[in-house]
Amino acid sequence: MTERTLVLVKPDGVARGLVGEVISRIERKGLKLAAVELRTVPQALAEEHYAEHKERSFFGELLEFITSGPLVALAVEGPRAIAAFRQLAGGTDPVEKATPGTIRGDFALETQYNLVHGSDSPESAERELKLWFPDL
Ligand code: IDP
């Protein structure tokens, strides 16, 4: 079944020049790009995107980070695209959870600066794609 998922190359990934690396891994996996956009995120969109983390201690820091510079938003599609990208990304903590061979496992050291976002369920993907790509 073909799915669509929202992927973000977060500001750390853009600043470190890893956009091409991430897109290359998405394409090599066999997934397709349905939309790609470089943008600087307004506070309101960042808050809505991470609404589920509102009560967490790191929420303020997370918003500051995600709005700190340009990021690349992608709509990615293919069979089981949601799980497939989560597999490419690796676990949230890039040292304790992400394994070598994953984007986070290969390129990141800190949980906050873990380079990429990928929707975690069909419900999140639908909600997030509407938020980021309302015209898709
Ligand atoms: P995910 O991005 O792997 O789905 P979530 O738990 O949804 O992980 O967390 C969203 C983002 O918030 C993470 O990717 C990371 O950037 C940040 N984050 C999560 N936990 C922490 C933490 O304990 N400290 C700082 N930032 C965190």
> How would DSSP label each residue in 113-135?
T--EEE--SHHHHHHHHHHH-TT
CB atoms under 10 Å from CB of 37, counted, come to 12
C-alpha 101/C-alpha 43 separation (Å) is 33
Q: Is 1's pLDDT higher than 90? A: no
Q: What is the pTM of this model?
A: 0.98
Structure tokens, 58: 């790191």
ipTM over 0.90: yes
**pLDDT value of residue 75:** 99
Ligand 1 pocket: which of 59, 62, 63 to mutate (most atoms within 8 A of CB)? 62
Average pLDDT over residues 74-98: 98
> What angle (nearest 5°) sits at the alpha carbon of residue 38, between those of residues 32 and 42?
125
Catalytic residue among 90, 117, 118, 125: 117
Residue with tokens 């309302």: 134
- Which domains can be identified in the chain, with CATH numbers? 3-132 (3.30.70.141)
| Cβ 104 under 6 angstroms from ligand 1 | no
Q: Give percent above pLDDT 90 in the chain.
A: 99
